[in-house]
């Protein structure tokens, strides 16, 4: 039971107005300076000290105590660009039939403002057993290096985190990591009319077949098996030349059963092509089922699941729970929206869950 319902109502109204301001302000990845300024002003108007680095804003509770553990509340304020199928103005926060339409309303504006409201609810409490830090970060949509990854070294050690993404306020207790491999099959050029050369396409086909059929033996309880998909391929210069190289790209969704390094090692042992990882930053993440914040959510009727999509969780080295108002099925869609009632529920559930853990 929330102790101060009047405060929650005020914070909820403030959060919705903040979301409207964010919607009408362009904040494509790497161009979030104006929405960062809006979030700055939100904190400034409430006399909450904050820090800013590039387009990232973060603040900590008034009675921060370095001897206490810390919980991080995080979500992002960058958006993708609107796709051509929009029938509404993506930058007009239109309220209709209980829905708030606008670019970023669902992913992840509703989550962001709900977490900011939750942070404000706990900001003045002097009886917390945990510190609370709120971080509104940039570049999530492109997995950029100047978002949460830039902020993390500036923060104290984090005991656990709640990452705001639209999950219908259910508990994503695990999330797949992402590994992208650029592979090059090497052959030898020759004339297509004669029996000469080594066709790099044929070599690539053998390796691509391995990616299609190989199954990693360890399967995650929450996330299922590792999933490998060849998504791009290219070779050849003209019809009568045997190609000496064939390049292809593999998208690999990794579970907590393997490190990214282990996956790369296995691939290199089993294919002949050169293997070039784009990054080993986006790690799989999880939080134990017995963790108090998970148990708090379960006690309130929330269900647990494993998420196949990546988020800024991948950049955290602490146990983290992904949850937030909204529905991931609406993310990146035309005429994106979130129900106001989802924001109301999100703020209430965030507060109630945290009260079970940090008081």
Tens-place pLDDT, residues 10-42: 999 999 999 999 999 999 999 999 999 999 999
Of 263, 248, 260, 257, whose CA–CA distance to 286 is shortest?
Answer: 257
Q: What pLDDT shows up at residue 308?
A: 86
Contact 320, 287 (CB under 8 A): yes
CA angle 330, 328, 354 (to 5 degrees): 130
Q: What is the secondary structure of 110-175 as a DSSP string?
A: HHHHHHHHHHHHHHT-S--SSEEEEEEES-GGGT-TTSHHHHGGGSPPPSEEEE---BTT-EEEEE
Task: Output the pLDDT for position 219.
Answer: 96
Extract the residue ranges of the chain whose pLDDT is less than 70: 1
Which tokens go with 58? 């973060």
* Host H or E run for residue 15: helix 5-23
Taking Cα atoms as reference points, which of 156, 137, 134, 155 lies closest to residue 146? 137
Measured distance CA(343)–CA(112) in Å, rounded: 10
CA–CA separation, 104 and 81 (whole Å): 9
pLDDT at site 4: 84
Q: Can you give the pLDDT at residue 250?
A: 98
Output the pTM of the full model. Answer: 0.90
Asked whether the CA dihedral 122, 126, 127, 132 is positive or negative, the reply is positive
Q: Is 203 left (phi over 0), alpha (psi -120 to 50) or beta?
A: alpha
Per the CB < 8 A criterion, the answer to whether 149 and 314 are in contact is no
217-220, long-range: CB < 8 A, 24+ apart: 218/255, 218/257, 218/258, 219/255, 219/257, 220/174, 220/255, 220/256, 220/257, 220/306
Per-residue confidence (pLDDT) for residue 28, from 0 to 100:
98
Cα 90 to Cα 36: distance, rounded to the nearest angstrom: 19
Angstrom distance (rounded) from CA 277 to CA 259: 13
In what side-by-side order are the strands of the sheet with 177-186? Answer: 227-235, 245-254, 177-186, 274-277
Residue 1's pLDDT is 58
Which DSSP helix (H) or strand (E) runs through 36?
Answer: helix 33-45
Q: What is the pLDDT of residue 195?
A: 85
Residue 85 confidence (pLDDT): 97
Cis peptide before 108 (omega within 30 of 0): yes
Tokens of 201: 């396409």
Q: By C-alpha distance, which of 233, 244, 235, 242 is closest to 186?
A: 244
Residue 101 bridge partners (DSSP)? 94, 337
Q: How many CB atoms lie within 10 A of CB 238?
A: 7
Q: How far apart are CA 254 and CA 227, in angstroms?
A: 7
How far is it, in rounded angstroms, from Cα 238 to Cα 136?
Answer: 50
Region label for 245, one of left (φ > 0), alpha (ψ between -120 and 50) or beta (otherwise): beta
Three-state secondary-structure class, residue 226: coil
Q: What is the pLDDT of residue 241?
A: 96
Nearest to 140 by CA among 340, 357, 331: 331
Secondary structure element (H or E) that encloses residue 12, with its range: helix 5-23
Q: List residues bridging with 278 in a β-sheet.
A: none
């Amino acid at each position: 039971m929330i102790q101060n319902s009047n405060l929650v109502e005020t914070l909820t109204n403030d959060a919705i107005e903040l979301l409207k301001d964010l919607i009408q302000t362009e904040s494509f990845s790497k161009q979030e300076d104006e929405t960062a300024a809006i979030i700055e002003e939100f904190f400034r108007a409430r006399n909450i000290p904050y820090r800013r680095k590039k387009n990232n804003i973060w603040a900590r509770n008034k009675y921060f105590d370095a001897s206490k553990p810390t919980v991080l509340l995080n979500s992002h304020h960058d958006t993708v660009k609107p796709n051509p199928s929009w029938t509404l103005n993506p930058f007009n926060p239109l309220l209709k039939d209980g829905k708030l339409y606008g670019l970023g309303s669902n992913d992840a504006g509703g989550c962001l403002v709900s977490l900011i409201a939750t942070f404000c609810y706990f900001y003045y409490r002097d009886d917390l057993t945990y510190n609370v830090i709120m971080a509104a970060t940039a570049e999530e949509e492109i997995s950029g290096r100047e978002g949460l990854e830039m902020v993390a070294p500036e923060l104290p050690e984090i005991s656990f985190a709640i990452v705001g993404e639209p999950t219908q306020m259910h508990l994503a207790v695990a999330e797949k990591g992402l590994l992208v491999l650029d592979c090059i099959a090497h052959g030898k050029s020759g004339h297509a009319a004669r029996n000469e050369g080594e066709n790099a396409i044929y070599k690539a086909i053998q390796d691509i077949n391995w990616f299609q059929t190989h199954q990693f033996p360890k399967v995650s309880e929450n996330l299922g098996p590792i999933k490998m998909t060849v998504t791009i391929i290219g070779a050849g210069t003209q019809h009568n030349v045997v190609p000496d190289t064939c390049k292809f790209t593999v998208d690999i969704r990794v579970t907590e059963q393997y490190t990214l390094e282990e996956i790369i090692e296995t691939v290199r042992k089993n294919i002949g092509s050169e293997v070039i990882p784009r990054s080993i930053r986006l790690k799989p993440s999880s939080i134990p089922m017995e963790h108090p914040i998970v148990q708090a959510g379960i006690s309130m009727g929330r269900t647990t699941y494993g998420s196949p999509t990546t988020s800024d969780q991948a950049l955290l080295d602490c146990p983290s729970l992904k949850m937030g108002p909204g529905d991931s099925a609406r993310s990146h869609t035309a005429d994106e929206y979130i129900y106001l009632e989802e924001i109301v529920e999100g703020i209430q559930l965030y507060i109630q869950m945290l009260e079970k853990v940090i008081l």
